[in-house]
Chains A and B, each alone.
Chain A
Amino acid sequence: MNNALNISSSPHVRDKRTTAYMMRVVLLALMPATVVGVCNYGLHALLVVLVSVAAAVLSEFAFDKLCHKPDTWKDGSAAVTGLLLALCLSPRVPLTMPLLGSMFAILIAKCCFGGLGKNFINPALAGRCFLLISFGNMMSSYRVVDGVTAATPVADLLVGNPVNVTRMFLGTTSGVIGSSALALLAGGLALWALQIIHGEICFSVLGTFILTIGLFGGQGFDPRFILAHISGGGVLMAAFFMATDYVTSPATPLGQLVYGLLIGSLGGIFRLFSGTADSFSYCVITGNLFVPLIDTYIVSKPYAYRKVSLLKQLRASGEPWYKRVPRPVIVLTAIAAIAGLALSGVYFMTKDTIDNQKRAAQAASYKAVCPLADHFEANETIDKAVADLNGAVYGTDFGRAHINEGFAALDEGGNNVGYALSVTSADGFDGNVTLAVGVDNEGAVTGISFTELNETPGMGMRVDEAEFKDQFVGKAVSKFTLNKAGGSTADDEIDSVSGASTTSGAVVNAVNAALDFYNNTVKGGA
């Protein structure tokens, strides 16, 4: 009997919670967001989730087998990565996206750096950013539940359009699969209450983000504005599920606060000044990169060596306060401040250049659509009408078309030879389609030219080919109609680019809006 006794170092009991348990809890906390996403966006969203999770787990399994590593796929961490990635994808992406993204996340970002506990950036975010950079078009196309293509609420927020916060909470807006703020909040708070994630991280990220948005967002601390910003663009996902990833966050509470501050403030700055809605992933990754530095410098002392609290230290007389703040805090704050200043500096320095280039491109396209014009002149009637529209959707028959601006076209002798109008349709397959439309004094289209077009190459992008554009030229009709079948003969019929009826429709709507504007405002008012 005695020979069989086990010998080991104390302690001889262990808590029931294992790595697999922790991962299961995180998976459960993500379930509300997943279920809401699938209900809102349908079967394809479910397929994206399943492919992503399966690809992540299988990648890890394959890596373990090929490299003769212990079976780590069983611990559930790969499944968490796969699910997190899926929830950050648009429900419209082709299934190759979750497949490639998960493979990159697990094989490159995680396994190649030593597997669980060794990766230096969050694998799910690495996968997402890999996809964002490599397949920008496919990644940033979103669709709302009722089947209409739309910009995400944050994109609307950034250009100043009103957004529906209630729908953002429920996740029924256009966006990623895991876009229900309510579901994410519920899961995140549950994880915090169960002490699975550190409150120091999630609340400092959210707090600093709110502060930055409130201070620099231009609308102060208006609750609806703040709430709209928090509810969209993956802020809650990042704060509760991404930034709190154990492996890529600091070990000490103070370090976690610094890390949260960094991510939150970067998130706010990126959100307001980068002009894209997807920037939070990059902020968290930037935060990840600071973790080794933070962990090297910020090490908490045992209780016996902590003399007094930081607050008391600051209040105590004697040395000036800045000498008693730990040096790493100063260094890191300085780095964050310099990085922030540099970013905003670059933005403001390049802003004019970018605007000038845009204007030059705009001018060139006006020339292109009014072949007879020598120069352009502002027109009071047009400017007034555009100002009256105040950025609202133009008319009722043209989808979501906006009239941006318009000029009178003059020949060398200063005689009016027509007008050039800039129109945007928000109904493109991948967001906005903006084009210049030239109209002569008889109301005939003299040409169209695209100034903003982000459609699918080989499909929607083909509206920029002469074959499609030339169909409008020389025709004086009050309204064009789209012929999806092709082979049009009538003047007012436009053949759709095959396989790209959405984009073609947006262009036709935009041109119709321009014609309507010309007939009712320019001509009627002139």
Chain B
Amino acid sequence: MVKHTFRGGVHPDGHKELSREVPLREFLPAGEMVFPLSQHIGKPAKPIVKKGDAVLVGQRIAEADGYVSAHIASSCSGVVKAVEKRLTLTGAMADCIVVENDGQFTCAEGFGEREEQASLSNDEILRRIQDAGVVGLGGAGFPTHVKLKPKDPAAIRYVIANGAECEPYLTCNDQLMRVKANEIVEGLELVLQLFPNAEGVIGIEDNKPVAIAAMKQAAHGKPRLRVMELQTKYPQGGERSLIQVIAGVDFPISMLPADVGCIVDNVGTLYAIQRAVLYREPLFSQCFTLTGEAAKNPGNFIVRDGTSFAELLEFAGGLKDGIALKKALVGGPMMGIALGSLDVPIQKQNNGLTLMIEDPVELAEAQMTACLRCGRCAKVCPVGLLPEPMADAAINKDYERYEKKLYGLECIQCGSCTYNCPAKRPLMQIFKEAKSEIQARKRAEAGGTK
């Protein structure tokens, strides 16, 4: 059988065997919990509690501020200790609500009881998703209720459940699909209810046979659903790669998936939607992989937002004996963010912590040579860009050519070019800098004309 896949892409070592077979365990943290107000794309939420207030599990502590924003719920019961700036995973200080956890995990009222889907209108489904503060759990954290409200719901042809999990090391979606297949399918059906003309496609990379079998069984007999096995290749789980494979469409970065008739939701998000709609449960926990060569017991966990990475690591058994941690990544090694300190809170959209004993970037810097113009970057670009001339233009500050001639802003920052570069050039970093420079210039121009 020909495996479905997109053009380009790379095959980094998966390392998924470290944690693949470890079942999900729930971790209940103790002590201080920190809730950053910005855990999603869009405007940060507004706090609605103040110092000294008592809060319960699932109680809303911050409210969406504007259309593209999301509510935040507490994941523990206790007393608000402060609303102040704390260090977050980006390495910057950001506004956070700090709750002193009483360790009781007393739940707020109004959620936990299953309600039936048949009685729900589309508006009610969207309202419940919004109330629960669901954001995209694939990593970006885009508010889900916004995504599910395209201009023309009838034009949506595909609702894609993203179970590709192409990022090396991460296995929590694999585990989630194994044990919560029916719940994910229910979540997908709720979304499908919003889009009468859409087909539900569950895309999973073929390195997860157990999850594929589970999802196939859960989707069995449902006429609007099908499971699609995808080739194991990074970035198969990228929104645009999935749409390319399933809908056969490439589209510019200025367009949204909904503009080409697609809605893509991570399987974790679909599970959260199911909880939010049928149980009215706010999003305060998600599945999470703690892995890497430095971790003593790599595994998959259900973690509560606001827990510190360091505390989770301690619960999981800490580092291997006698090993120095070189690098800690939120997420996997391809798109993850390198942490300066483990003592920062886990956010809604985080799905993994990869602990590395070696830093391949350090090695790459030592091996860096001039560009050979070998074209291996262009060969793997899933967008069809030419990274080599792009880097040239960016370094020469020829942003006109970078943007207009080379379509540099179409870059989805997947890092495939950088991974594949034999000269070990930091292409992604160059492109990120070029993008922010171009955006800064545009802002300055817009400001100047006023």
Given contacts A246-B375, A295-B389, contact A302 B360 (CB under 8 A): no
Q: Which of A20, A115, A302 contacts B250 (CB 8 A)?
A: A302
How distant is A446 from chain B, measured CB to nearest CB, in Å? 65
Q: Is the CB of B326 within 8 A of A246?
A: no
Q: For B418, list chain A residues within 8 Å (CB).
A: 11, 14
**Chain B residues, Cβ within 8 Å of A305:** 252, 407
Given contact pairs A251-B373, A302-B384, A305-B252, A9 touches B426 in the complex (Cβ within 8 A):
yes
Query: With A72-B369, A295-B389, A300-B384 known to touch, is A7 a contact of B375 (CB < 8 Å)?
Result: no
* A15 touches B (CB below 8 Å): yes
Task: Find out whether the CB atom of A299 lies under 8 angstroms from the CB atom of B423.
Answer: no
Are B333 and A13 touching (Cβ within 8 A)? yes
Q: Decide if B131 is an interface residue (CB 8 Å cutoff).
A: no
In the assembled complex, B153 has its CB within 8 A of some CB on chain A: no
Chain B residues, Cβ within 8 Å of A490: none
**A304 proximal to B (CB < 8 A):** yes
Say yes or no for A247: interface residue by CB 8 A criterion: yes
* B299 contacts partner chain A, Cβ-Cβ < 8 Å: no
Residues of A within 8 A of B383 (CB): 302-304
CB pair B250–A6 under 8 Å, yes or no, is no
Asked if B364 and A14 make an inter-chain contact with CB atoms under 8 angstroms apart, the answer reads: yes
B40 shortest CB reach to chain A, Å: 20
Please name all residues of chain A whose beta carbon is closer than 8 Å to the beta carbon of B340 when the two chains form the complex.
2, 5, 7
Q: Which residue in chain B gives the minimum CB-CB distance to A19? A: B369
Q: Which residue of B lies closest to A7 (CB)?
A: B338
Interface status of A134 (Cβ within 8 A of chain B): no
- Contact yes or no, A12 B386, CB < 8 A: no
Query: A299 and B415: CB pair below 8 A?
Result: no
B369 with A299: CB separation less than 8 A:
no
CB distance from A98 to the nearest CB of B (A): 24
Docked pose: A7 CA to B92 CA in angstroms: 13
Q: A12-B356, A302-B383 are in contact. Are A22 and B374 (CB under 8 A)?
A: yes
Looking at the complex, which one of A2, A15, A303, A306 makes contact with B419 (CB distance below 8 Å)?
A: A15
Task: Tally A-B pairs: CB < 8 A.
Answer: 165
Give the chain A neighbours of B405 by CB distance below 8 A.
299
Tell me the nearest residue of chain A to B431, going by C-beta.
A9
Asked whether, in the complex, the Cβ of B341 is within 8 Å of the Cβ of A299, the reply is no
Q: Contacts of A249 on B, CB cut-off 8 Å?
A: 373
- In whole angstroms, what is the CA distance A21 to B420 when docked? 13
Query: Quick one: which of A275-311 are within 8 Å of B by CB?
Result: 295, 299-306
Q: Which of A21, A116, A117, A303 has its CB near the most chain B CB atoms (within 10 A)?
A: A303
In angstroms, Cα B379 to Cα A196, docked, is 12
Q: Are B374 and A11 in contact (CB under 8 A)?
A: no
Q: Are A14 and B386 in contact (CB under 8 A)?
A: no
Contacts of A271 in B (CB 8 A): none
Most-contacted residue by chain B among A9, A116, A251, A300 (CB, 10 A): A9
Interface contact A5-B328, CB-CB below 8 Å: yes
Q: Flag B1-39 by CB within 8 Å of A: 1 or 0 each.
A: 000000100101100000000000000000000000000
**Contact for B370 among A20, A116, A252, CB less than 8 A:** A116
Query: Is A10 part of the contact surface with B, judged by Cβ < 8 Å?
Result: yes
In the bound complex, how far is the Cα of B369 from the Cα of A72, in angstroms? 8
Known contacts A5-B328, A5-B340; A11/B335 CB under 8 A: yes
- 5 smallest A-B Cβ distances: which pairs? A11-B415, A117-B370, A303-B384, A303-B250, A304-B250
User: Can you list 9 pairs linking A and B with CB atoms under 8 Å apart?
Assistant: A2-B340, A8-B327, A8-B359, A10-B333, A11-B428, A19-B369, A301-B384, A304-B383, A305-B407
Knowing that A15-B419, A251-B386, A304-B384 touch, tell me 20 more A-B residue pairs with CB under 8 angstroms. Answer: A2-B341, A2-B342, A6-B362, A7-B339, A9-B432, A10-B333, A10-B338, A13-B334, A13-B360, A14-B360, A14-B424, A15-B12, A18-B367, A18-B369, A19-B372, A117-B373, A198-B375, A246-B375, A299-B386, A304-B250
| Residues of chain B at the chain A interface (Cβ within 8 Å) | 7, 10, 12-13, 91, 168, 244, 250-252, 324-329, 333-343, 356, 359-364, 367, 369-375, 378-379, 383-386, 388-389, 405-407, 410, 413, 415, 418-424, 426, 428-429, 432
